[in-house]
Amino acid sequence: MKVSVDDDACRGHGVCLATCPEVFDLSDGGYAVTLVSEVPSQHENAVRDAAANCPERAITVV
């Protein structure tokens, strides 16, 4: 599973970081970034939850 964050859509709410800090972080500017290119299987459900709960729908899971 891969995950990405749309830099233009993200507004830095931090829901993803709160949901899965093993995969997401906030940049110095306060916007979401991914920490891994491939999501470890044990975090897949949390990443899906983060994507579903992102207020801006800025997270894409493939």
Tens of pLDDT, residue by residue over 2-46, are 999 999 999 999 999 999 999 999 999 999 999 998 999 999 999
The reported pLDDT for the residue numbered 56 is 98
- On the CB side of 59, CA atoms within 13 Å amount to 29
Q: Which DSSP letter does residue 40 get?
A: -
The single residue listed with the structure tokens 């939850």 is 49
Name the phi and psi angles at 41, rounded to 5.
-55, -35
The reported pLDDT for the residue numbered 37 is 86
- Indicate the pairing of strand 32-34 with strand 24-26: antiparallel
pTM for the full predicted model: 0.94
Q: Domain count for the chain, please give it.
A: 1
